[in-house]
C-alpha cells in the first residue's frame, strides 16, 4: 500500500510537471545559480536566465530571457553604469541590493522583484503569481497596481494625461489626419512614470520590437509592459520628484544639444511653397508686415519628381542664390527628406547606394522595394554604419546649396500600403535582424545620420526635425506631432502630446500650428497662433489644396493678434534660450506638464485642467477651444500674476475667466525671474544692449540661470558661452546677479530691472550704491489695438504699475538690496 501511494504521488508529480512543461505560458521558476560580482547579480532560474545590475544610486537594470543573455546593445542607451556604493546580501529566500537611494529585493521562490525606498517603503513590485512570463516569443512583465496609482508619459500618445485604465501599442505608424484617440501614431518612447502615495518611479523598457503597455485596461489586477520578441530589458528609476526621474532617464538616453538660435523663432511652412519667387514673396511679405520670422520650409515639391538630393530646376533654378537672398532677409531654409531612394538607372543617389549596397534587403540579397512619393524606392539601412556613412556623405548636397535645416519625414518607415514585409533584413550594427526588431528604431537612426552628416558638412549648427523616432531621439532632433487636423480638439491634443513628450525626455517639440488637414476658422487659427508662441518649435504649416495659412490671410485682427504674440516670443528669446540650455544639462523640458511640479495635486489630472502647462518655470498657459467664451482655470500651489495686468491670484483654486480673441490665459508664477530683450524681426538682427529683467515678488526664493552663446557655432562646447545665476531672496530682500562664467562676451551691457508686485519702493541699492526707482505703467506683452480699449490713467487695461531702475551689467557679482 505504501509503495502504491509513493507511485501515485510520483505519477501526480510527473503529470503536473508535464502539464507545466506544456503550458502555453512560460514562467521563470525558482532562482538558483547565483553569481554576485561588484554591483551585478546574475542568475539562472528554472526556465530563464537573468541579470540585475545597479546603473547608478537611483537606477537598476533588469535583463531576463529564455536563453542565455545575448549581446548587450542599445540604440537608445548611451550611458555606462556608474561606480556605485552598493550592498548585496542574500539568504535562502531573497537577494537584497541596496544603494543610498534604492533597495531592490529579488525573491527566489519563485523569481520576482520588488523595489523599496532606502527607508523601506514599497515603491513597485512584480505582481506575485504572474511576475514575468512568455507566451511564445512575447514577453511580459506584470506589476502590482497600487491603490490610486497614476501613470504618465510614454511619449507621443493620445489620450489623457493620466493613462490609468488604458493600454497603448508602440509601432511607429504613418497616420495622416489621425483621430484624437488613435494609437499608435508616429514615434515610440517606451518610458513611463508611475505615481502613488507621494512616491514616483520610472520604467524604461529598452526593446525595439512592437511593444504594449497596459495600465489596468481590461483588468483590475496589474499594469504591464510587453515586447513581441527579444529579451525583457528594462530600467527601474526612482527619485523623490518627477524632474529627477526625467534627469535620470535622459542620463541614460542622452540630452539634446544646444539648437541654433534661429530655430527658436517663428517658422512659416506650407506643403508646398514653390517656385523660388513664391518663397521670396512669402519672406518679403513677412518682413513688410513686420511679422518676426526666422525660418521657411520647403516640402517635397522642391525636388525633381520627388527624388532625394535633387532640385526641380524649373521651380528652383539656382538654390544657392535663393538661400543667399533668404539669408540677407534674415531667413534660414529647411528642406524635407524622405528615406526612399527612387529606383532609377542613372540617378546619382540610386547608382551610388546600389553600388555600395547600403539598402535594406530580402533574405535572397535583393533590395527591398516599396512605393512612396517618387515611385518605387529602395531604402537606406540606417542600422548599418555603412548606410549611415553613405547618408552622411549625401547630406553635403544640402550644405553646398546653403540649406540650414533637414526635415526627416516618412521615416516610420512609411510606404504605400503601410505593410512592409516582416522578412526584410537590417544589419542592426553587426547582428542582422528582421523588420520586426528594426522597425521602431529606423527613424532614430535616420535622424542620427542626418544630424551627423550636417555636423560634418554644415558651417553652423543644423536644425534637424523628425516625424518618427525611438527613445533617445532628443540627442539629434526636434519632433513634431505629424499630420494633424484643423480642429479645436486637435489643437488641445497637440498640447497633451507635447507635454507627454516632455515627460519622456524630449524637449524640442512642436505641432502644425493652424492644423495640417482642413482649413482653420479665423478664431481657431488665432487661438492656435497664441498657443504656438509658448511651445518649443513654433511652426505654421498646412497642406496642399487648403486655404493659405499665413497670418495675413485671416484678416487684420487675426494678423495683429498673431504678430503681437510672435513679438512677445521674440522678446522672450533670452528666457527661452536659457531654458533650452537647462534641457541640455538636466533633460528638463521647456514645455512642462503640471505633473512635473505638482505631481501629487489630483486637480491637475482632471480632464478640465490637463491641457494646462508651464512654459519654463515662470509661465502657466491655459489653452482653450476657440469657441469658448469662458474658461475654467486651475491655479496650482503658490501665488500667481495675470500676465496682462499683474492681477494677483492665490493658488490651489479654480478661477473662471472670460475669453476673448486677443488674450490667451497666461499667468506668471510668484518669484519668477524673466529676462527679456528688445524686439527684433529675426535672430540675425542684434537686439539693443539692454536686458529687461522682470522679477515677480513672492514668498519663495528662486534662481534662474541666464545663458548666452553665439547661437550658431559649436564654440560653446569649448566654454565660449556666458552664464550667470540670477537669484531672488525675499527673506533677505536681495536680488543677486551672479558673476559671469565662460569666455563669451554678453550682448547685454545694461539692465533695466522691472519689479512686479513690489509696491512702495523708493530706491534700491546696487552693490551698496543707492539708485532711485521710477514708477509707471508697463506691460510685458503689448495690447492689441482693436481688442483692448483705453483704460484709466491713459493706460491700457492690461498695463500694470511697476517699479523700474536701470544700471550697468557687470561681469562681477552684483547684489541689489531693497
Q: Which residues contact 355 (CB under 8 A, 6 or more apart)?
A: none
Confidence of residue 782 (pLDDT cuts 50, 70, 90): confident
Q: Tell me what pLDDT residue 788 has.
A: 53
pLDDT mean over 54-64: 98
Overall number of domains in the chain: 3
- The verdict on residue 524 lying in a domain is yes
E strand map for 659-799? 666-669, 673-676, 690-696, 702-708, 722-729, 734-737, 750-756, 763-766, 769-772, 774-778
Is position 806 within any domain?
A: yes
Domain annotation covers residue 675: no
Helix (H, G, I), strand (E, B) or coil at 18: helix
What's the mean pLDDT in 446-467? 98
Calpha distance 262→390 (Å, rounded): 28
Q: Is residue 661 part of a domain?
A: no
| Radius of gyration of the chain measured on its C-alpha atoms | 28
Query: What is the pLDDT at residue 789?
Result: 45
Q: Which of 591, 620, 648 is at the close of a domain? A: 591
Say if residue 809's pLDDT is above 70.
yes
Closest CA relative to residue 773, chosen from 748, 743, 752, 749: 752
CA dihedral 269→270→275→278, nearest 10 degrees, is -70
Active-site entry in 483, 550, 646, 798: 483
Using 50, 70 and 90 to split pLDDT, how confident is the model at 9? very low
The backbone region for 747, taken as left when phi is positive above 0, alpha when psi lies in -120 to 50, beta otherwise, is alpha
Q: Check whether residue 314 and residue 167 sit in a common domain.
A: no
Strands 800-808 and 750-756: antiparallel
Task: Quote the pLDDT of residue 10.
Answer: 40
- Spot the catalytic one: 409, 550, 782, 798: 409
204/275 same-domain check:
no
pTM of the model: 0.95
Single residue among 576, 591, 606 that ends a domain in this structure? 591
Q: How far apart are CA 642 and CA 432, in angstroms?
A: 57
The answer on pLDDT for 60 being more than 80 is yes
Give the pLDDT score at 778. Answer: 85
Q: Give the position of cell 552684483.
A: 814
The residue assigned the cell 538660435 is: 261
Look at residue 418 and tell me whether its pLDDT is greater than 70: yes
Whether residues 280 and 341 fall in one domain: yes
Residue 317 clears pLDDT 90, i.e. is over it: yes
- Cα 230 to Cα 63: distance, rounded to the nearest angstrom: 11
Q: What is the DSSP string of 607-668?
A: TTTTT-EEETTTEEE----TT-SEEEEEE-SSEEEETTT--EEESSEEEEEE--TT---EEE
Count CB-CB contacts under 10 A for residue 371: 12
Cell of 118: 532606502
Residues 184 and 100 in one domain: yes
Whether residue 147 is contained in a domain is answered as yes
d(CA 471, CA 77): 8
Contact indicator for 380, 367 with CB cutoff of 8 Å: no
Range of the domain at 82: 27-240
> Which of 565, 591, 617 corresponds to the end of one domain?
591
pLDDT above 70: residue 151: yes
- Which phi and psi angles does 454 have, rounded to 5°? -65, -40
Residue 118 region by backbone torsions, left for phi larger than 0, else alpha for psi between -120 and 50, else beta: alpha
Task: Look up 412 and say whether it is catalytic.
Answer: yes
Is pLDDT at 288 greater than 80 in this prediction? yes
User: Is the model's pLDDT at 21 over the cut of 70?
Assistant: no
Residue 786 has pLDDT above 60, yes or no: no
Q: Are residues 267 and 221 part of one domain?
A: no
Does the active-site annotation cover 606? no
Q: Are residues 53 and 185 in the same domain?
A: yes
CA distance 197 to 419: 44
Shared-domain flag, residues 232 and 298:
no
pLDDT in tens, 652-676: 999 999 999 999 999 999 999 999 9
What pLDDT, on the 0 to 100 scale, is given for residue 799?
81
pLDDT at 797 over 60: no
Q: For residue 794, is pLDDT > 80?
A: no
Q: Do residues 570 and 704 share a domain?
A: no
pLDDT for the residue numbered 19: 42
| Cell numbers for 353 | 547606394
Confidence band (pLDDT; 50, 70, 90) for 15? very low
CATH code of the domain containing 199: 2.60.40.1760
For residue 742, give the C-alpha cell: 565662460
Same domain, 546 and 435: yes
Q: What percent of the chain has pLDDT over 70?
A: 96
- Torsion-angle region of 159 (φ positive above 0: left; ψ -120 to 50: alpha; else: beta): left
C-alpha cell belonging to residue 799: 498695463
- Check whether 18 has a pLDDT greater than 50: no
Average model confidence (pLDDT) for the chain?
95
Predicted confidence band of residue 785 (pLDDT cuts 50, 70, 90): low
Taking residue 417's Cβ as centre, other Cβ atoms within 10 Å add up to: 8
**Does a structural domain hold residue 85?**
yes
DSSP β-ladder status, 340-342 and 405-408? unpaired
What was the pLDDT predicted at 783?
79
Has 364 been annotated as catalytic? Answer: no
Which pLDDT value is given to residue 1? 47
Given this model, what pLDDT does residue 20 score?
A: 45
Higher-confidence residue of 166 and 789: namely: 166
Q: Would you say residue 641 lies in a domain?
A: no
Provide the CATH number for the domain around residue 695.
2.60.40.1180
CATH number of the domain within which 294 lies:
3.20.20.80
Instruction: Say if residue 516's pLDDT is above 80.
Output: yes
Which residues does residue 650 pair with via DSSP β-bridges, in sequence order? 639
Q: What is the pLDDT of residues 601-611, one digit of tens each?
A: 999 999 999 99
CA 539 – CA 549 distance, rounded (Å): 11
> CA angle at residue 519 from 516 to 525, to 5 degrees?
85
Report helix, strand and coil shares of the chain as percent, to nearest 5: 25, 30, 45
Which listed residue (412, 445, 646, 708) is catalytic?
412
Give residue 6's pLDDT: 42
Say if residues 94 and 105 touch (Cβ distance below 8 Å).
Answer: yes
Percent of the chain whose pLDDT exceeds 90: 93
540 has pLDDT over 50: yes
**581, 441: one domain:** yes
Give the three-class secondary structure for 800: strand
How is residue 308 written as a grid cell? 532625394
Confidence at residue 790, expressed as pLDDT on a 0 to 100 scale: 42
461 and 497 inside one domain? yes
Inside any domain, residue 779: yes
* pLDDT tens profile 82-118: 999 999 999 999 999 999 999 999 999 999 999 999 9
Backbone angles phi, psi at 31, to 5 degrees: -85, 135
Do residue 224 and residue 295 come from a single domain? no
Amino acid at each position: 500500500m505504501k509503495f502504491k501511494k509513493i507511485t501515485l504521488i510520483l505519477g501526480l508529480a510527473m503529470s503536473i510537471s508535464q502539464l507545466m512543461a506544456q503550458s502555453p505560458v512560460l514562467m521563470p521558476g525558482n532562482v538558483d545559480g547565483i553569481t554576485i560580482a561588484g554591483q551585478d547579480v546574475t542568475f539562472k532560474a528554472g526556465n530563464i536566465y537573468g541579470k540585475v545590475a545597479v546603473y547608478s544610486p537611483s537606477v537598476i537594470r533588469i535583463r531576463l530571457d529564455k536563453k542565455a543573455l545575448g549581446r548587450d546593445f542599445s540604440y537608445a542607451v548611451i550611458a555606462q553604469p556608474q561606480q556605485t556604493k552598493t550592498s548585496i546580501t542574500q539568504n535562502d529566500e531573497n537577494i537584497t541590493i541596496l544603494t543610498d537611494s534604492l533597495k531592490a529585493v529579488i525573491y527566489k521562490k519563485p523569481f520576482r522583484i520588488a523595489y523599496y525606498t532606502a527607508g523601506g517603503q514599497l515603491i513597485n513590485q512584480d505582481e506575485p503569481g504572474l511576475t514575468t512570463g512568455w507566451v511564445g516569443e512575447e514577453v511580459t512583465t506584470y506589476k502590482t497596481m497600487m491603490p490610486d496609482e497614476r501613470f504618465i508619459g510614454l511619449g507621443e500618445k493620445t489620450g489623457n494625461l493620466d493613462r490609468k485604465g488604458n493600454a497603448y501599442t508602440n509601432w511607429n505608424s504613418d497616420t495622416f489626419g489621425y483621430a484624437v484617440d488613435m494609437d499608435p501614431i508616429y514615434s515610440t518612447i517606451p518610458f513611463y512614470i508611475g505615481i502613488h502615495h507621494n512616491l514616483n518611479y520610472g520604467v524604461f523598457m529598452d526593446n525595439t520590437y512592437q511593444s504594449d503597455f497596459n495600465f489596468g485596461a481590461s483588468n483590475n489586477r496589474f499594469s504591464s509592459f510587453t515586447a513581441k520578441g527579444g529579451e525583457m530589458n528594462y530600467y527601474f528609476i526612482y527619485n523623490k520628484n518627477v524632474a529627477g526621474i526625467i534627469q535620470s532617464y535622459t542620463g541614460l538616453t542622452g540630452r539634446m544639444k544646444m539648437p541654433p538660435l534661429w530655430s527658436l523663432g517663428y517658422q512659416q511652412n506650407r506643403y508646398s511653397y514653390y517656385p523660388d519667387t513664391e518663397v521670396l514673396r512669402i519672406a518679403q511679405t513677412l518682413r513688410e508686415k513686420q511679422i518676426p520670422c526666422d525660418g521657411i520650409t520647403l516640402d517635397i515639391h522642391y525636388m525633381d519628381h520627388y527624388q532625394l538630393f535633387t532640385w526641380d530646376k524649373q521651380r528652383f533654378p539656382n538654390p544657392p542664390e535663393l538661400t543667399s537672398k533668404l539669408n540677407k532677409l534674415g531667413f534660414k531654409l529647411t528642406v524635407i527628406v524622405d528615406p526612399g531612394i527612387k529606383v532609377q538607372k542613372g540617378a546619382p543617389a540610386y547608382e551610388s547606394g546600389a553600388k555600395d549596397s547600403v539598402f535594406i534587403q530580402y533574405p535572397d540579397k535583393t533590395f527591398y522595394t516599396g512605393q512612396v512619393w517618387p515611385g518605387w524606392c529602395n531604402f537606406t539601412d540606417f542600422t548599418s554604419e555603412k548606410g549611415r556613412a553613405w547618408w552622411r556623405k549625401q547630406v553635403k548636397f544640402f550644405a553646398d546649396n546653403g540649406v540650414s535645416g533637414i526635415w526627416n519625414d516618412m521615416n516610420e518607415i512609411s510606404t504605400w500600403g503601410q505593410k512592409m514585409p516582416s522578412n526584410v533584413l537590417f544589419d542592426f550594427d553587426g547582428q542582422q535582424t528582421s523588420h520586426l526588431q528594426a522597425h521602431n528604431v529606423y527613424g532614430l537612426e535616420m535622424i542620427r545620420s542626418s544630424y551627423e552628416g550636417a555636423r560634418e558638412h554644415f558651417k553652423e549648427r543644423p536644425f534637424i526635425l523628425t516625424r518618427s523616432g525611438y527613445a533617445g531621439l532628443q540627442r539629434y532632433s526636434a519632433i513634431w506631432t505629424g499630420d494633424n487636423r484643423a480642429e479645436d480638439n486637435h489643437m488641445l491634443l497637440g498640447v497633451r502630446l507635447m507635454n507627454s513628450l516632455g515627460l519622456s525626455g524630449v524637449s524640442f517639440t512642436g505641432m502644425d500650428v493652424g492644423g495640417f488637414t482642413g482649413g482653420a476658422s479665423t478664431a481657431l487659427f488665432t487661438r492656435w497662433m497664441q498657443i504656438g508662441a509658448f511651445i518649443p518649435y513654433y511652426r505654421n504649416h498646412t497642406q496642399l489644396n487648403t486655404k493659405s495659412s499665413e497670418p495675413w490671410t485671416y484678416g487684420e485682427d487675426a494678423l495683429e493678434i498673431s504678430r503681437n504674440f510672435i513679438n512677445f516670443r521674440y522678446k522672450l528669446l533670452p528666457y527661452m534660450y536659457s531654458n533650452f540650455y537647462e534641457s541640455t544639462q538636466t533633460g528638463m523640458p521647456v514645455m512642462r506638464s503640471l505633473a512635473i511640479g505638482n505631481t501629487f495635486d489630483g486637480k491637475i489630472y482632471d480632464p478640465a485642467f490637463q491641457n494646462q502647462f508651464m512654459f519654463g518655470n515662470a509661465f502657466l498657459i491655459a489653452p482653450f477651444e476657440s469657441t469658448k467664451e469662458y474658461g475654467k482655470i486651475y491655479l496650482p500651489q503658490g501665488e500667481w500674476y495675470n500676465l496682462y495686468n499683474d492681477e494677483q491670484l492665490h493658488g490651489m483654486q479654480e478661477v473662471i475667466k472670460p475669453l476673448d480673441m486677443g488674450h490667451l490665459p497666461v499667468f506668471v508664477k510668484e518669484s519668477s525671474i524673466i529676462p527679456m530683450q528688445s524686439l527684433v524681426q529675426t535672430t540675425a538682427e542684434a537686439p539693443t544692449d539692454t536686458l529687461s529683467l522682470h522679477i515677480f515678488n513672492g514668498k519663495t526664493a528662486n534662481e534662474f540661470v541666464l545663458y548666452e552663446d553665439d547661437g550658431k557655432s559649436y564654440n560653446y562646447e569649448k566654454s565660449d558661452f556666458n552664464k550667470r545665476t540670477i537669484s531672488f531672496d525675499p527673506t533677505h530682500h536681495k536680488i543677486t546677479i551672479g558673476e559671469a562664467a565662460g569666455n563669451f562676451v554678453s550682448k547685454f551691457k545694461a539692465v533695466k530691472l522691472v519689479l512686479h508686485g513690489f509696491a512702495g519702493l523708493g530706491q534700491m541699492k546696487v552693490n551698496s550704491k543707492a539708485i532711485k526707482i521710477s514708477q509707471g505703467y508697463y506691460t510685458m506683452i503689448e495690447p492689441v489695438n482693436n481688442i483692448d480699449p483705453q483704460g484709466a490713467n491713459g493706460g491700457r487695461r492690461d498695463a500694470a504699475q511697476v517699479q523700474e531702475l536701470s544700471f550697468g551689467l557687470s561681469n562681477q557679482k552684483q547684489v541689489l538690496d531693497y
